[in-house]
Amino acid sequence: MEALATIARIAAEAGDAVVDPATAKNTAAAASAGYAYGLAAIGPGIGIGIIFGKAIESMARQPEAAGMVRTTMFLGVAFTEALALIGFVAFILLKFA
């Protein structure tokens, strides 16, 4: 019960505190950066899954074309990863630069 009262008192003090605009901006930038990085990692993850699924299907249908399939698959995966890297760079620039 005492812990609950402490939490309530801290929350009340925080609610009364005046937030500095620069602090608010930094907090918003940090939150946006986190969302940007997280969202940017989802798309490439789905993309890489699709690329690999299709590549395995292709190699199963035509094993003799496996070399060509793997070549294009590797390049496709690397291009898809570039999206995640762009998200990561947006994250570090928003958060730390």
Residues 3-62 within binding reach of other proteins (CB under 8 A): 41, 44-45, 48-49, 52-53, 56-57, 59-61
For position 77 contacting other proteins by CB under 8 A, the verdict is: yes
For 83, counting Cβ atoms within 10 Å of its Cβ (0-12 exposed, 13-18 middle, 19+ buried), the class is middle
The long-range contacts involving 26-30, CB below 8 angstroms and separated by at least 24 positions, are 29/94, 29/95, 30/94, 30/95
Q: Which residues bind other proteins (CB under 8 A)?
A: 41, 44-45, 48-49, 52-53, 56-57, 59-61, 63-64, 66-68, 70-72, 74-75, 77-79, 81-82, 84-86, 88-89, 92-93, 96-97
